[in-house]
Chain A
Amino acid sequence: MSVFAFLIGALSLAAAIGVVISAKPVHSALFLMANFATLAILYVLLDAQFLAAAQVIIYAGGIVILILFVIMLIGHDPADRSQQVTWPAVASLVLGVILLASLVLQLTGRLELGGGGGIASGGSPSAVGTELFTRFLLPFEFVAILLLVALIGALIMGRRESGEPVEEPVG
């Protein structure tokens, strides 16, 4: 079991590296999907079936498809790297190092290699649902409101000003 977990972990890491180094955005999106799928398998190994299913439904089935949709709508011009500003790369490097350091600091000492004992409260849908609707009810509802606000915001930003020419819908 732990050998299998390490194998999946390695695959997941490889897919993550693939996301970053692929030249074409569609290939990156595909690697991202592979990464999400392997993460879902890891969740199953940790007895968190609900999380695994949610991972595939939301990330692989929803978000990656939206990413692909956007890439296809925008077209696939190879990005001209020389024109790009360099500060995002520097900033993301710094932030990445900070994230990695904090993760390592947090996790050292808590991690048991080869343990794989599963989650204390269980990962079945009913266990997750009970936690979500009792202990975490308030944050849960706040997230719902936040998503609604984001949705309406996107709608307003995407709306055409009156007087602008109406484009034919694609598709």
Chain B
Amino acid sequence: MPKLLIYLIQAVVLSLVVITGFAYLTWLERKLIARFQVRIGPNRAGPFGLLQPAADAVKAMFKEEYIPGHVDKFVYVLAPMLALAPALIVWAVIPIAKGVPAMGDVNIGFLWILAVTGVESFGVILAGWSSNNNYSLLGALRSAAQMISYEIPLGLFLVSIAMLGGTFSLVELVETPRAPWEWIWIWLAFPFFFTSILAETNRSPFDLPETENELVAGFFTEYGGMKFSMFMMAEYINMITTSTVVATLFFGGWQGPLADRYIWLGPVYLFIKVLALLFLFIWIRASISRPRFDQLMRFNWKFMIPAGLVYLTVSAVVTVFFK
């Protein structure tokens, strides 16, 4: 089956690219956070500390794979995998150049994103439960509540954008031309959408499932070595993936000057946009302090969801009358 083989190669190459992206994102984050805090950051391994991710990878791989005695072994080992897999799977439907999806163009692209983000929280919840540790369990409970709650505004804004675009396929969405007023209306949703994504990816300032000053390390307190690294990978790859989704939905994905004519320019533009969004992620982490958990939940249920509902309604009316 040559077709299957091609898919397999595509998947392997894609995963390797994304995992390399993860490695250098950790470097970028440490460098940038250091700059924000007037430090230098990693600078020992290689020029500008560029070999630091490689050194970290080697360290994680050669650590002893220790499993504590009081954990539920099966779930404990399964949880990091369940955390990492969805972050990679989302990539399948994202267009990386004109008419070229990363894996395949499906007519449920949007729903695919929603479905996979829904499954994402499993890894965190199961890690917290299987660790058999109160801090882990509290982290997992927070994560479950937080992720379920913020999925609602995320879904509402996603549906609005799908409605305006008139398609469920991300490949078609990027290629559909939009009127200027439509761009402005969509960008209006960007701050809301980005806030939901910060909560969905458990990123600072919404990293309450792993608050180090109250829950040790939250859901991955009992993890070490490569399994701990897998949670880190899941978090950072989620950042990359969600940035790509945001770039695709709000900023035209691979589009840019001349990207129609030279197809190789598509991935370049996408990369630049994703990099800008990742900078935003890190900038927010360095600048904004963490809210309390009840504040986080109140903000979602009393502000984000009503705002999402209003946006959805207005988008529906606009789509019917002006498109």
Contact = CB atoms under 8 A, between A and B. Distances in A.
Q: Chain A at the B interface: mostly helix, strand, loop or mixed? A: helix
B223 to A, nearest CB: 17
Contacts of A170: 138, 141
Given A56-B118, A56-B119, A68-B125, A50 B144 contact: no
Nearest to A73: B141
A71 B118 CA distance: 19
A53 B142 contact: no
B160 to A, nearest CB: 15
Q: What 3 A-B pairs are tightest by C-beta distance, nearest first? A: A61-B118, A53-B111, A56-B115
Contacts of B78: 30
Nearest to A52: B108
Interface of B: 72, 74-75, 78, 106-108, 111-112, 114-119, 121-122, 125-126, 128-130, 137-138, 140-142, 144-145, 147-148, 151, 168, 293-294
A116 interface: no
Contacts of B293: 171
Given A64-B122, A71-B129, 13 more contacts: A33-B122, A52-B108, A53-B111, A56-B118, A65-B122, A68-B129, A68-B144, A69-B144, A72-B125, A72-B128, A125-B111, A169-B294, A170-B141
B144 A57 contact: no
A49 B108 CA distance: 7
> Which of B108, B121, B144, B294 neighbours the largest number of chain A CB atoms within 10 Å of its CB?
B108
Interface in A54-79: 54, 56-57, 60-62, 64-66, 68-69, 71-73, 76
Contacts of A54: 111
29 contacts: A26-B75, A26-B126, A33-B122, A49-B108, A50-B111, A52-B108, A53-B108, A53-B112, A53-B115, A57-B111, A57-B115, A57-B118, A60-B118, A60-B119, A61-B151, A62-B148, A65-B118, A68-B122, A68-B125, A68-B126, A69-B144, A69-B145, A69-B148, A72-B141, A73-B141, A125-B108, A169-B294, A171-B141, A171-B145
A62 to B, nearest CB: 7
Contacts of A62: 118, 148
Given A56-B115, A171-B142, A30 B126 contact: yes
A24 B111 CA distance: 32
B159 to A, nearest CB: 11
B175 to A, nearest CB: 18
Contacts of A57: 111, 114-115, 118
A54 B111 CA distance: 8
B168 A61 contact: no
A54 B118 CA distance: 11
B117 to A, nearest CB: 8
Contacts of A2: none
Contact of B108 (A33, A50, A68, A71): A50
Given A26-B75, A49-B106, A65 B144 contact: yes
Nearest to B145: A171
A26 B125 CA distance: 11
Contact of A26 (B72, B141, B147): B72
A30 B141 contact: no
Contacts of B107: 49, 124-125
